[in-house]
Amino acid sequence: MQDMQPRFGYSDLLAMPEDGRRYEIHGGELVVVPSPMPCHQIAVTELLMLLCDYGRRAGGIAVVAPLDIVFDEHDVVQPDIVFFRAERRHLVRPYEVTRVAPDIAVEVLSPSTAAVDRGRKMGMFAGYGVPECWIVDPVRLRIEVHALENGVYRCAQAATGGDIVRSVLLPDLAFAADGIFPFA
């Protein structure tokens, strides 16, 4: 006899009382997302400002967590930042949950979430067709740009220091890696 674990779904998440915590659902498993350190939040803020400025110029939109991206009933994530290009911006509806893959998902690593961000979440992003994923490491002061190719991510760039980060999906977006880490 198999031991069947109940699968947690988005409808279950909606029925939970508000407790101030952030949750994700990975393959039907409820995951608590711990609160990040200041270096994480500073990097998120710098990247959000950069992507919002780009969005104003190019017509896209950047949104910061907490924001549920509901890939399906049993896969719900809150990337630190998501970006939708101008031609897909209409898919972000102000008064509805987002049920489509973003063009770019940004994960800023924390010691407690790094393995999940690089593992399960990147795999989920690839499986649901997110074209580009950025992994930002505020401890190593490193930004990785991963491009989706044939259903898997290829590291297109790993930038540190004064290296210029270039998006694969947004070829006119470039910025200095060290500008994201003003605390270093």
What single string gives the DSSP state of each residue in 40-58? HHHHHHHHHHHHHHHHHHH
Lowest-pLDDT choice from 55-59, 111-115, 161-165: 111-115
Instruction: Supply the CATH number for residue 81's domain.
Output: 3.90.1570.10
Q: State the total domains in the chain.
A: 1
* 156 belongs to a structural domain: yes
Closest CA to 46 of 4, 78, 81, 87: 81
- Cβ atoms of 55 and 61 within 8 Å: the answer is yes
The whole model's pTM is what? Answer: 0.94
- Cβ atoms of 122 and 115 within 8 Å: the answer is no
Closest CA to 163 of 142, 146, 183: 142
| pLDDT for position 184 | 81
Residue 107 pLDDT exceeds 80: yes
| pLDDT for position 174 | 96
* 88 belongs to a structural domain: yes
Q: Which residues contact 21 (CB under 8 A, 6 or more apart)?
A: 32, 33
| pLDDT for position 2 | 54
* 168 belongs to a structural domain: yes
Residue 4 pLDDT exceeds 70: no
Residue 1 pLDDT exceeds 60: no
94 DSSP 8-state letter: T
| pLDDT for position 25 | 95
- Cβ atoms of 136 and 89 within 8 Å: the answer is no
The overall average pLDDT reported for the chain is 94
Q: How far apart, in whole angstroms, are the C-alpha atoms of residue 74 and residue 77?
A: 10
Say whether 122 sits in a helix, a strand or coil.
helix
| pLDDT for position 24 | 94
* 15 belongs to a structural domain: no
* 6 belongs to a structural domain: no
57-77 average pLDDT score: 96
Residue 39 pLDDT exceeds 70: yes
Q: Which residues of 31-61 are buried (b: 16+ CB within 10 A; e: fewer)?
A: bebeebeebbebbbebbbebbbebbeeeebb
| pLDDT for position 50 | 98
Residue 168 pLDDT exceeds 90: yes
| pLDDT for position 34 | 87
Percentage with pLDDT > 70 across the chain: 97
* 16 belongs to a structural domain: no
Answer left, alpha or beta for residue 45, where phi above 0 means left and psi between -120 and 50 means alpha.
Answer: alpha
* 5 belongs to a structural domain: no
User: The domain containing residue 104 runs over which residues?
Assistant: 35-180
* 30 belongs to a structural domain: no
